[in-house]
Structure 1
Amino acid sequence: MEFQSLHNKVVLITGASKGIGQAMCLLFAEKGATVYAIARSEELLHKLAEKAKTKGGNIIASPCDVTDSEAVQRLISQIVREKERIDVLINNAGLGHFGPIHELTETQWDEMMNVNLKGVFLCTKYVVPHLLKQQSGHIINISSVAGTVTFPGGGGYCTSKFGLMAFTDVLTQELKPHNIKVSVICPGSVQTYFGQSDPKSYALKPEEVAYIAYQMAAAPEGVIMNQVIMRPVVPKEYQK
């Protein structure tokens, strides 16, 4: 199976300043895409853009809070003015707070729903009209294994990720008639400092998740990789 070229494709990636988002930005830029790296930290985004530049990649630092409707709308409009199209949107921004439901604060709950769900909704809402005009494009959502199974202490996070899975399914049905692909990746534990604990030594590498996103985006025109669940191989000594 031959991959499509991403050369000069316009790719938007949220949560781009670190972890999986950073790895995706670097990989997509390496493959020739023009990458708009979206996150709140302007400083980290500029460092990322410089790192890509040294390897011949094109990453455009695009500071934006994905939970701010007006800011998202302005950024999307600016990108379309500059490039006249959007080929891929990767909704990757996310955060987690963990603990028994009755111990979660209202602020923690709201943060998860705002970033993990509202941010995806806003970016999708303002990108889709342009994809409809093109009758082409691809939206890739980064969910989690926690969007397929629950666990104690994950009440808020699982709720947001189960919601994202439903959002993805509805979006798939709505956009299928318009030649617009929708995909979702559900990684298990990843070697990023996510939540309150250090990453497990055997956890997935951000670059491994990034490569699956690349395979989705570059799959042959007639192929949709709809859903991929990724789990690390747990060494025998860590198995219960």
Structure 2
Amino acid sequence: MKNQLILITGGSSGIGKAAAALLYDQGARIILQARDPKKLETVAREIDPTSKKVSYYSTDLTEQEAVENTANEILVNEGLPDVIINSAGAGEWLSLKESDASYYKSSMDSPYLATAYTCKIFFDKMQERGTGQFIIINSAASYFAFPGATGYTPARWAMLGFAKSLQADLYDTKFKVSLIVLGKVDSPYFKNNPVSEERIPKIANWLTPTMSVESAARIISSSIKSKPNVVVRPFMMSIFVFLNRFIPGVFSWLMRITSYKK
């Protein structure tokens, strides 16, 4: 990890922040990217009071031009990242009845378009070097469907498809794509979206433990070293994902009967 340059989107809080702190302690140079400049500055100074190995860039990751402009700044000021961790994500869990039409675009803007823009724009700049690693943080919702999340779940399915497509597209190259799929993580996301938390199917809450952001950060660190194709955690969630391939009807039924009912 020593002296690797690692860009982390969504680095001002939650999983991104925890990963930044751990990877910094392991010797990496960190670039934080998110929308809120004050939060970014606070986190950067908290991790590295000297400001020598942690930098930050305020960016609206849902805007292609903003991502391109910031990428050019990063290239000039910091250099070309070795690893890009895509952990930016948003999206409240709403039903079809509760939502308006704009909800579906905003749900897809982040995380999917933010991740696609970031990977594409930096890949274009990495090609001359010929190596790099993209880590895509996704939700276990990408393998299931349940009531009350008609924008969030499709966006996470899009993230799953994008990661798998990147792996196929870059298979014979020295670029590595690691998909990290997580169950519920005790992050600010659910504190900021209490409506979403109550809609997690109870079967998931009963049988899979809530992960800490520090646990998620350790998984990310391990993935930089081992470069796996897919990691699903916690372990019980990986069992659910595996079984869902063979008995999807059973899991659809379990999700429906244990899900939020207004």
TM-score range with shorter-chain normalisation?
Answer: 0.7 to 0.9
Match of 2:120 in 1: 125
- Residue 176 of structure 1 aligns to a residue in which SS? coil
Match of 1:212 in 2: 219
| 8 A contact 1:87–1:138 mirrored in 2 | yes
CA displacement, residues 122-181 of structure 1 (integer Å, 9 cap, x when unaligned): 101111112221111100001110011112112211100111111011111112222000
Deviation at 1:232, TM superposition (A): 7.5
2 CA distance for matches of 1:204 and 1:105?
Answer: 32
Alignment of 1:21-36 (within 5 A): 21-36=16-31
Match of 2:232 in 1: 229
List alignment gaps of at least 5 residues for structure 2. 199-204, 238-257
| 8 A contact 1:91–1:120 mirrored in 2 | yes
Deviates more, 1:36-45 or 1:97-106: 97-106
| 8 A contact 1:142–1:185 mirrored in 2 | yes
2 CA distance for matches of 1:112 and 1:65?
Answer: 14
CA displacement, residues 1-58 of structure 1 (integer Å, 9 cap, x when unaligned): xxxxx11111111111111111111111111111110001111111111111249972
Larger of the two Rg values belongs to structure: 2
| 8 A contact 1:53–1:59 mirrored in 2 | yes
Deviation at 1:233, TM superposition (A): 6.8
1 CA distance for matches of 2:135 and 2:234?
Answer: 18
| 8 A contact 1:72–1:123 mirrored in 2 | yes
Confirm whether residue 111 of structure 1 aligns to residue 106 of structure 2. yes
Confirm whether residue 59 of structure 1 aligns to residue 63 of structure 2. no
| 8 A contact 2:13–2:188 mirrored in 1 | no
| One-letter code aligned to 2:120 | K
| One-letter code aligned to 2:75 | V
**C-alpha RMSD over aligned residues:** 2.3
| One-letter code aligned to 1:147 | S
Confirm whether residue 42 of structure 1 aligns to residue 37 of structure 2. yes
Confirm whether residue 84 of structure 1 aligns to residue 87 of structure 2. no
Count of paired positions? 226
User: What TM-score results when the alignment is normalised by the length of structure 1?
Assistant: 0.87
Deviates more, 1:103-112 or 1:53-62: 53-62
CA displacement, residues 201-229 of structure 1 (integer Å, 9 cap, x when unaligned): x511011111111111122xxxx311111
- Residue 37 of structure 1 aligns to a residue in which SS? strand
- In structure 2, the CA distance between the partners of 1:133 and 1:148, relative to structure 1 (3 Å rule), is same
Deviation at 1:83, TM superposition (A): 3.6
Sequence identity of aligned pairs in percent? 25
